[in-house]
Each structure stands twice: as structure tokens, then as C-alpha cells.
Amino acid sequence: MVRAMALMVTALVLASAGRAVEPAKEPKKDKAAALEKLLHGVWQGGDCVGTLTIAADGTVKREHYTPGNNTATGTWEVRWDALPPTLVIVAKTSDDPDLAGKTWEFKLVQLDDDALAYQHPDARPGSEPVHFNRVKK
């Protein structure tokens, strides 16, 4: 029995010798890219939440934000080191000097064709996420 098993293993090794090994696909990266693509577009939030425009080139614009009706522009990325993923927004410019240079890290709790919701990092436990609806063209 041992001899037969050794023979089978040897035959399998010889049969597979010389065959090219295909690189493993990275489905996680593909899925992450597809989810990030869902972020692209214009999102309308409620009062003081304003409008969030997320572009494929990594830029972001926030308008009608805060009670001061502020505008900020900058960059965005999604960090996948934990679930839910983190939407990181860095404000490069703003009409409010306190917002320029600020970094926000929001936990994405909903993302689909029509809706985006995130949890603010300073939110109290059990508080409602911030909701946006996609602006249809």
C-alpha cells in the first residue's frame, strides 16, 4: 500500500513538472476596486452635511458643509486595514482656515448605487451614521 501511494505521488509530481503555474488572481483587490468605484460621483447629504463630490482621480470636494456653509477640497482614499473600511479625506484647501489641512477618517457603513453612509470617528456609541444620497445626472 505504501509503495502504491509513493508511486502515485511520484506520478503526480512528474505529470505536473514543466507546467506553468498561473499566478493567483487577487479577488480581494478586484472587489475593493469595484467598491471604491461606487464612491465616484456626487453625493447629497442633509443640512450642514452638504454635498460630497468624490472623483476617480483621488480628489474630493465638499460644499455647503458645517453651519458656516463651508467648502473644502482635497484628496480621498479608502483604507482596507479593518472592516468596515475607512474613507480618509484630507482637506488641502478651504474657505475655513480651521478645515484646511485637516484629515478625517470615516468608517464606511453603507455603500451602494444610491446611498453612502459613514460613521464619524467622534460619534457617540449608538449614534446614527451620516447619510448621503447619490445625485443622479
- pLDDT tens per residue, range 84-106: 999 999 999 999 999 999 999 99
Share of the chain above pLDDT 90, in %: 66
SS3 124: coil
For residue 9, what pLDDT is reported? Answer: 36
For residue 28, what pLDDT is reported? Answer: 65
CATH number of 41-137: 2.40.128
For residue 1, what pLDDT is reported? Answer: 45
Predicted TM-score (pTM) of this structure:
0.76
Residue 118 predicted with pLDDT over 50: yes
The full DSSP string for 68-119 is: TTEEEEEEEEEE-SSSS-EEEEEEEEESSTTTTT-EEEEEEEEESSSEEEEE
For residue 15, what pLDDT is reported? Answer: 44
Residues in the chain: 137
Nearest 5°: the CA angle 48, 50, 51 is 175
Residues 63 and 71: beta-carbon distance below 8 Å: yes
- Provide the residue ranges of all domains of the chain, joining segments of one domain with +: 41-137
Residue 52 predicted with pLDDT over 90: yes
Better-scored residue on pLDDT, 64 or 9 = 64
